[in-house]
Amino acid sequence: MDDDLITEARPIAFPQVFGYLRRVTGGLPRHAALVDCLTEYCERHELALCGVFTERDSTVIIRSPAFVGLLDALELPDTYGAVLPALSHLGPKNLGTERRRQITTAGARLIVVRRLTPTSEATSSLGASHSFRPPGDA
């Protein structure tokens, strides 16, 4: 995955993305804060956040209803990718790795607002970094 600019250097107008949140603790205020984080990130990077899928079940299965909903949305025409607050929202290591594979196999970009080890050149003023491939890049 590249750490390039999303739209600043690309001829793309507001690419459509879908958010994904997993096991949100802290109730409605925490969920609202995470959705606000995704919304602000998308606004700053000229992305159209079309919806957010939230998995609240603690069951560890790859194809949970919320994740299947995300995969279905990623198959829609003109969908650019999925945006997450952090990779941990995909689940524990093995589950997260498989979910990441399924997202990229669908041809979607995976955009992570906050990585565990951000690179200095990809860090925005929010401390966010990008994990994605621009359209057309291999």
| Cβ–Cβ under 8 Å, residues 71 and 106 | yes
> Which residues form the domain of 81?
16-122
pLDDT value at position 117?
57
pLDDT value at position 75?
95
pTM above 0.85, yes or no: no
Q: Is 7 within a domain?
A: no
pLDDT value at position 27?
85
Q: Is 107 within a domain?
A: yes
Q: Show the low-confidence residues of the chain (pLDDT under 50).
A: 1, 118, 120-138
Q: Is 58 within a domain?
A: yes
Q: Is 74 within a domain?
A: yes
Phi, psi dihedrals of residue 98, rounded to the nearest 5°:
-65, -40
- The number of beta carbons lying within 10 Å of the beta carbon of residue 14 is 14
* CATH number reported for the structural domain that contains residue 80 in this entry: 3.40.50.1390
Indicate the number of domains in the chain: 1
Q: Is 131 within a domain?
A: no
What CA–CA distances, in Å, run from 99 to 44, 65, 76? 26, 13, 18
